[in-house]
């Protein structure tokens, strides 16, 4: 066997593993995002749990008295997921969302509106599959909705001279 044949055989054997590892590297961010939203992975008798709620469940399983030391908001979120009210919940750069067992989807966003800003387009943390049924504003001012879609909202503000904070709660199905 010549050096060329040896080299060709080696490259042939390494092509698929190299392509697979390259694909993993290219898509590492979307894969990590998907893994963070997955609750668990089951393969036969093996179960792998992921995410914040799985870690909390493991802690509480080992030491139930830890519940009194955990933030009440986190405990309420855990209780709702454990009892099955919340099917899925997640936080990302655009905000947070919860999908309830009855199909209702609630997204929450918090924005800071700088002085003299008069409009802004926002993307929801999750795309509403059917329709947005309501938008609620919590803050010291109420913007006008210019455009509302399944994936975002365009808001108009009366300009102000100071920084303002606004929470937006969107519900739909």
Q: Class assignment of domain 90-173? A: mainly beta
The pLDDT value recorded for residue 156 is 93
Domain ranges of the chain: 50-83, 90-173
pLDDT for 84 equals: 61
pLDDT at site 155: 94
| Residue 25: per-residue pLDDT | 87
Can you spell out the DSSP letters for 20-52?
HHHHHHHTHHHHHHHHHH--EEEETTEEEE-HH
Q: What is the pLDDT of residues 45-55, one digit of tens each?
A: 666 666 666 67
Q: What are the φ and ψ backbone dihedral angles of 69, each rounded to 5 degrees?
A: -100, -5
Q: Which residues of the chain have pLDDT under 50?
A: none
End-to-end Cα separation, the chain, in angstroms:
65
What is the maximum alpha-carbon separation in the chain? Answer: 80
Other Cβ atoms less than 10 A from the Cβ of 124: the count is 22
Residue 32 Cα to chain centre, angstroms:
11
In this structure, the number of other CB atoms found within 10 A of the CB of residue 53 comes to: 18
SS3 content of the chain, % helix, strand, coil (to 5): 35, 35, 25
CB 64 within 8 A of CB 117: no
Residue labelled with tokens 């914040």: 52
Whole-structure pTM value: 0.53
Cβ neighbour number for residue 172 with a 10 Å cutoff: 20
- The pLDDT, as a whole number, for residue 40 is 67
Helix, strand, or coil here: 49? strand
């Amino acid at each position: 066997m010549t050096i060329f044949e040896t080299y060709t055989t080696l490259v042939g054997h390494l092509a698929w593993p190299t392509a697979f590892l390259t694909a993993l590297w290219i898509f590492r961010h979307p894969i990590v995002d998907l893994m963070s939203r997955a609750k668990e992975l089951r393969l036969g008798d093996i179960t792998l749990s992921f995410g914040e709620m799985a870690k909390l469940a493991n802690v509480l399983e080992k030491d139930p008295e830890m519940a009194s030391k955990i933030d009440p908001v986190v405990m309420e979120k855990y209780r709702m997921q454990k009892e099955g009210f919340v099917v899925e919940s997640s936080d990302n750069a655009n905000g947070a969302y919860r999908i309830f067992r009855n199909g209702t989807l609630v997204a929450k966003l918090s924005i800071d509106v700088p002085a003299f800003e008069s409009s802004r387009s926002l993307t929801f943390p999750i795309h509403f599959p059917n329709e947005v049924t309501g938008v609620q504003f919590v803050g010291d001012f109420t913007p006008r909705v210019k455009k509302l879609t399944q994936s975002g909202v365009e808001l108009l503000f009366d300009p102000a001279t100071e920084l303002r904070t606004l929470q937006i709660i969107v519900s739909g199905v």
